A and B are shown apart, each in its own frame.
Chain A
């Protein structure tokens, strides 16, 4: 019965593990093919369940404690010995999810091993094994704790596990796959069966199997019948909800606002990368900013707030400083002292090309607070501004001002100052490597359309015009357009199904299409102020009051040596009040060979790549000559500095962008680079040499761990059977056990020993309750035992079980004598293959 109960517990733990652990892996989006080895992982999880079930079995607390302590000591020992590999594995698995969470919730975790992992050049199989081991190292103590509660029939581990993944799902905004949900449900229901059938594990197992079958049937009905109806109802309720929100925003909030005259409600629309309407209530009529200019701007001011780099299902994701730094370090580029210099490239470029006096702009926040300080393209940000690597500016005071040039495109051929030029060249490399990402697999329909389209690629200007025409032909402007349904892509749904959208849709589509054609582009949200919004104040200044209605989204294109330039792609945008064509014309007349991409650029790029590779190899050789014994992985920063210097010196004149196997589309004009990836870097030979012995010692690590685990299990089992392994020690242990027991227990122990001896020697009867079988077995094993003695033995056994009086010492002696005779005969008569087992299970002497 205990065995069945244990089997049930193991199955229960396994099912819950598959559900909960699988759900967590799915939520954290840990890739199975690159970070985890499924076979190794699930086999180890199964072993953990078995180990947990055996470790916590029994009621003798000291024994259980002994087992668990030994197990933990073994775990700590192994973790100490392999701490580097485990830490690397944990980093490999959790770095991605942690960065993703950090982007959402605004924290950062430093992963020093990431650079190590990248540069060690391990192959995919090793990385998977490392990742799996790391995850298992985290899971093992949790499994141990869960086994304790599971052995006592507690609900706690199941409830805690399910709550954990659900919380993680809400935090990460990702729900696990249906496969793992099924196991979670089965695990919970199996818990019901265990609770109700705790006294009859066999029936409990049957009941659990039946429940699983019927639950599967119910889940099938739920998936195929109820779920589509629920989805439909959800979509309907979403639409109704959005309509409700719009009604509240457009009618009720203004009424309430006018009631509280002079007070704003809410902060208006805060710019972000979210796609679709997610905010519950927003007051689009509240005054949010007051823009004051010293002179009337000659064109629309695009005041940028948020800049999105990566296209996601629900939102554009911003670039992070950590990613920026990591790229620069990896490429050996020199990090700018302050990120605002990257923004000021545009100002310098405009000043160089247009000249003249810059304008002055002051922005004042009215009511509430936004996340960003807004500034237009061509602004000069002083050191008081806290600028991020993507050019966005964190919110500072409620009033801030700066000088700016409105990028008009007319002017002389200007060049950036040397410092800015060098800065821009390196930043350009970064832009071309990171702002050309086009998710080809997710946008299959759009890709196919673009392959067959007539969009010209001769120049950026022509390309932009054609893209704008394409968008205008595909969709119309509609501020009331709803969100895309679940399971569809935001842009594809806009372009090919709904054919209606607003600035968010047009800007997102434009950025993706620009990237497809090899033009670095990004998605920006902020406020757009047309000249018509400005009114002249008595002091001669021009003021414009912005509300939520002025919030806008647009695309920005990176022009070499100029920086990020806004491109308006929303047709007939009422907020701008400008002709789109005018701005495009302005942009398109920017002169110079910097803008026009040509095939010569590609050749220059390849040459620079070769120069860079050579420089790195020379630097590695130099370092090896200086410090031959120094491991390559201990000084990544020194290597980076040397590389950076080489790069800066070698590339100050011509500055084609450097590609590093970046993603992107195939562009025949050579605007983007699908340049072959650089070599593995400096010291690649060293790295190979160093890799071999390191890898050799690690190759056996999974097997070594498993062996250790097996050894631990055997050790614990051996300890449980009898601490001394010698024959004399076992006899002493047996006698000690008998002495400590009461008279009844002594009879039971002796009978148990006798019965085990009979069974292992092959003379087992039907079961312990069968007197006839016992007598037959005894007679066969030991013919010298008479019938009377057998009968007497049985009477003693019955009396010791059911009678009130304790067995007398005479009766105990009789049982002892019979038991000794039987055990002696069993050892003599047992077949060879059973001798060891007999020696382990039966006490003699």
Chain B
């Protein structure tokens, strides 16, 4: 419309000044376009996360760094990206940065709420530099187009009573030769009774198969709850809280077992800090998953955290 109106006026009125203005309307944007080429080449956009991990319900902070290495100021830079948060839909983000000096670095902070546990990723799709008139734009150079953040679960306090029956069962055992035996506790399988020793001591003794100081911690629900963010968050919160609690309370080690697509995975943890390492690997799905060979799906001993969040020790529920 503007072009047509301008043409109409130029033809209707014999004004040389009007033709001059029309010529300026052509020449000025063209010159700005030519200037835009070195400006665009001198601008670099990079993206980095301030922290690799964030606790759930916190804030994910990403920093967009725009560096203008040319000496001409840049009027506008637009940046487009996609944020894929854990348990959320993809979000398209567009930011305009106005007024960047020559030979200057500008940083912009992008913040997203960490709603669910998992892996969050920001992908920088496009970045462009506009000329002074705002008509033309050329792509800027991108460096480090992706940033990943892991949203970790929140810990909460576990009551001490959870540990008591388990501690009794863990600590009150003794060795019988090469066999690790302990007293019979209600809930133990009758097939595990070590009759040979029991007849001698007139007390039922149970024999454990594994000579291990670690306690098995089975996570039943990893595979099923991943697609349900709210339940997955609660499950992970509980699992990590319990693991950290046990380790802090003196449990020598935990052998965490969970179900993956390839099979049953297993990981040995002996320090509370290793819980985070394990959770990070679980959520980011990075690295090789250590698989467990030839074991029962439901081990008879050890802890089992079910989908509904109840902790079982054997067949006894010790925490819900």
A contacts, CB < 8 Å to B = 169-170, 173, 175-178, 181, 185, 189, 192-193, 195-200, 202-204, 206-207, 210-211, 214-215, 217-219, 221-223, 226-227, 230-231, 234, 237-238, 241, 486-487
The answer to whether A237 and B11 have CB atoms under 8 Å apart is yes
The answer to whether A231 and B99 have CB atoms under 8 Å apart is no
Mostly, the B contact residues are: helix
Tell whether A230 pairs with B19 under 8 Å between CB atoms, given A193-B75, A237-B11.
yes
CA distance A292 to B27 in the complex (A): 62
Partner of A169 from B10, B15, B75, B133 at Cβ < 8 Å? B15
CA distance A173 to B133 in the complex (A): 30
Q: Cβ of A219: which chain B residues have Cβ within 8 Å of it?
A: 24, 27-28
Q: Cβ of B75: which chain A residues have Cβ within 8 Å of it?
A: 192-193, 196-197, 207
Partner of B23 from A199, A203, A211, A226 at Cβ < 8 Å? A226
The answer to whether A196 and B76 have CB atoms under 8 Å apart is yes
Q: Does B147 contact A (CB under 8 A)?
A: no
The answer to whether B99 and A222 have CB atoms under 8 Å apart is no
The answer to whether A181 and B21 have CB atoms under 8 Å apart is yes
Q: Cβ of A230: which chain B residues have Cβ within 8 Å of it?
A: 19, 22-23
What is the 8 Å Cβ interface bit string for chain B, positions 105-138, against chain A (1 contact, 0 not)?
0000000000000000000000000001110000
The answer to whether B73 and A210 have CB atoms under 8 Å apart is yes
- Identity of the chain A residue whose Cβ is nearest the Cβ of B14 in the assembled complex: A486
Interface residues of B in 56-105 (CB under 8 A from A): 72-73, 75-76, 98-102, 104
Select the residue from B31, B99, B100 with max chain A CB neighbours within 10 A: B99
CA distance A198 to B28 in the complex (A): 22
Q: Cβ of B17: which chain A residues have Cβ within 8 Å of it?
A: 175-178, 181
Tally of A-B residue pairs with Cβ under 8 A? 112
The answer to whether B73 and A234 have CB atoms under 8 Å apart is no
Tell whether A223 pairs with B23 under 8 Å between CB atoms, given A218-B30, A218-B31.
yes
Tell whether A206 pairs with B73 under 8 Å between CB atoms, given A200-B101, A234-B10.
yes
B108 CB to nearest chain A CB (Å): 12
Task: Give the size of the chain B interface in residues (CB under 8 angstroms).
Answer: 35
A834 CB to nearest chain B CB (Å): 35
Tell whether A196 pairs with B98 under 8 Å between CB atoms, given A181-B17, A218-B24, A222-B26.
yes
The answer to whether B99 and A199 have CB atoms under 8 Å apart is yes
Select the residue from B11, B24, B31, B134 with max chain A CB neighbours within 10 A: B24
Having A192-B133, A193-B132, A486-B14, one finds 8 other A-B pairs with CB under 8 Å, namely A175-B17, A189-B133, A192-B75, A210-B73, A222-B26, A226-B26, A231-B16, A238-B14
Q: Does B298 contact A (CB under 8 A)?
A: no
The answer to whether B28 and A199 have CB atoms under 8 Å apart is no
B contacts, CB < 8 Å to A = 9-11, 13-24, 26-28, 30-32, 35, 72-73, 75-76, 98-102, 104, 132-134
Q: Cβ of A169: which chain B residues have Cβ within 8 Å of it?
A: 13, 15
- Identity of the chain B residue whose Cβ is nearest the Cβ of A483 in the assembled complex: B14
Q: Cβ of B32: which chain A residues have Cβ within 8 Å of it?
A: 214
Partner of A199 from B31, B72, B98 at Cβ < 8 Å? B98
- Identity of the chain A residue whose Cβ is nearest the Cβ of B132 in the assembled complex: A211
- Identity of the chain A residue whose Cβ is nearest the Cβ of B22 in the assembled complex: A230
Tell whether A222 pairs with B20 under 8 Å between CB atoms, given A189-B133, A210-B72, A211-B132.
yes
The answer to whether A200 and B99 have CB atoms under 8 Å apart is yes
Q: Cβ of A218: which chain B residues have Cβ within 8 Å of it?
A: 24, 27-28, 30-31
A5 CB to nearest chain B CB (Å): 12
The answer to whether B100 and A203 have CB atoms under 8 Å apart is yes
The answer to whether A170 and B73 have CB atoms under 8 Å apart is no
Q: Cβ of A217: which chain B residues have Cβ within 8 Å of it?
A: 31
- Identity of the chain A residue whose Cβ is nearest the Cβ of B130 in the assembled complex: A196
CA distance A15 to B69 in the complex (A): 31
The answer to whether B102 and A175 have CB atoms under 8 Å apart is no
B66 CB to nearest chain A CB (Å): 13
- Identity of the chain A residue whose Cβ is nearest the Cβ of B75 in the assembled complex: A196
Q: Cβ of A226: which chain B residues have Cβ within 8 Å of it?
A: 23, 26-27
The answer to whether A185 and B13 have CB atoms under 8 Å apart is no
The answer to whether B99 and A214 have CB atoms under 8 Å apart is no
- Identity of the chain A residue whose Cβ is nearest the Cβ of B11 in the assembled complex: A237
The answer to whether B24 and A222 have CB atoms under 8 Å apart is yes
CA distance A177 to B18 in the complex (A): 10
CA distance A238 to B19 in the complex (A): 14
- Identity of the chain B residue whose Cβ is nearest the Cβ of A233 in the assembled complex: B19
CA distance A192 to B9 in the complex (A): 25
